[in-house]
Amino acid sequence: MPVATTRISNPVKAACHRCNVGIGSWFGFGVNVLLLSLYDLGRQPYGIASAAAWLGEAGAQVRCLDLAVEAVDENAIAETPLIAVHVPMHTATRLACALLPRLRALNPNTHICLFGLYAPLNEQRLRRLGANSVIGGEIETELVRLYRRLAASRGGPLHQPAATFLGKQRFRVPDRSALPDLSRYAHVVTEAGNLTAGHTEASRGCKHLCRHCPIPPVYDGKFRVVQADVVLEDIRLQVADGARHITFGDPDFFNGVGHALRIVSALNDAFPDLSYDVTIKIEHLLKHARHLPRLAESGCLFVTSAVESVDDRVLDWLDKGHSRGDFERVATLMREAGLTLSPTFVPFTPWTTLEGYLDLLRAVVALDLVESVAPIQLAIRLLVPAGSGLIPILQEQGHLGRYDEEALCYPWQSGDPAVDRLQSDVMADVEAGDGQDLSRSQLFQRIWDRAHQAAGAVAAPIVLQRATTVPRMSEPWYCCAEPTSRQLAGL
């Protein structure tokens, strides 16, 4: 396979910069940084593309591999002095743990860096498995610093303490030239056909401190914007590569509502036929309801929102900042604005009861959201990673077990074993449904029947108000799903 490297706008200037930082024989003339992505919700990985741009500007010769869609290249691993693995979510981190021993065996002398949101949360485990450095927060600045330190050391041993940089950055336009084509990633499903999807970020971090979220332990309420010109140029390049839809991967697109609206207005002006989707908190959808029509007018197909639960007690423990009533009002507001709401849930928690789970299913039906809810969202079990704000609460309530290093989370058990059995059965239904190509409505019916059976209740017929396909991503899994056997086999 030919080596694909990042674009360098001025090779002479880049070469001079390499001399200035003392790269020497360690860099040679070949690839000296290998960026690895393992899983990013089926999207072309923004984190890898952004890192490639920054490192390329610093003089690195970068190779990118996305192991979600590409095979492991043992030669590239064995020959590269710096390997950086992106871990933006739990699933990717579990896959990284499985891959690290292989990386170290193939290249005992390489410097292995783990970077991304989940890296600092799992530093001890990652270092034990072979990582030399761990970077979190605004990862690009620290990756360049690491690269330059390695250059100065001529590739010699380098102790690199964990680094989490939360300062402001002047972002670079992501370099996607060494990544697989957009057609190999998840697409948007609509009634009119499928749309090739790109992926970008307009902001990072979050102003809010939801207790179950992995962002607060790293960002602690800080929020950073990606400059609008960078975002728009990134989108322009992806449109040139065939994108007809853009996913904004921001944790909450309305953390900076003015910034967000400026971007979608400029986006719509430049590409009036381009659609997009965003993620926004229920709290912000209510607070900024007057802007919902503007989203619809500018091409927004759907809005993902982490509802998590319809039990107000659970929402309080999670510190979500909204109530069940807020969720119900947002569902109405979204429909009135002509937008599709795509709610996500954490239906199985230490506080879930069989009746509570049935209540969630009834709410989904009553709000006409059966087609809008990915079936996996009805099977997810609460993940409690290191640093979670839920740890003190669950310890006090006696729910929490000892930290499981292999699973990278704290185990817990429901007060009712029947709830744990139901979660396992629903997850099996979801996995089987994917293989059987069942529609969301068909799979919901199966889950509906199973939940009623588990509760010893009679399953009333489901009356769907809307049977049409709502716009959605083709990738059904979420960030806290267990790695699949196929994913692990690919490593």
pLDDT value, residue 64: 97
pLDDT in tens, 41-74: 999 999 999 999 999 999 999 999 999 999 999 9
CA 480, 101, 84, 65 dihedral sign is: negative
Residue 144 has pLDDT above 80, yes or no: yes
- pLDDT digit string (tens) for 372-429? 999 999 999 999 999 999 999 999 999 999 999 999 999 998 889 999 999 999 999 9
C-beta atoms surrounding 467 within 10 Å: 9
Predicted local distance difference test score (pLDDT) of residue 465 = 66
Q: With left for phi above 0 and alpha for psi between -120 and 50, is residue 277 left, alpha or beta?
A: beta
Between residues 39 and 26, which one has the greater pLDDT?
Answer: 39
* Among the listed residues 416, 357, 405, 408, the one whose alpha carbon sits nearest the alpha carbon of residue 384: 408
In angstroms, the CA 405 to CA 114 distance is 17
Residues sharing a CB contact under 8 Å with residue 310, sequence separation 6 or more, in sequence order: 324, 327, 359, 360, 363
Over residues 133-149, mean pLDDT: 94
Higher pLDDT among residues 32 and 28, named by residue: 32
With a CB cutoff of 8 Å and minimum separation 6, the contacts of 426 are 378, 379, 447, 450, 451
Residue 134: is its pLDDT beyond 50? Answer: yes
Using DSSP's 3-state secondary structure scheme, residue 197 falls into strand
Q: Which domains does the chain have, with CATH numbers?
A: 11-165 (3.40.50.280), 188-489 (3.80.30.20)
Mean pLDDT, the chain, integer:
89
The pTM score is 0.90
pLDDT digits (tens, 9 = 90+) for 239-276: 999 999 999 999 999 999 999 999 999 999 999 999 99
- The answer, yes or no, to whether residue 480 has pLDDT greater than 60, is no
Q: Residue 6: is its pLDDT beyond 60?
A: no
Residue 457 has, within 13 A of its CA and on its CB side, a CA count of: 15
Q: Provide mean pLDDT across the span 118-124.
A: 94
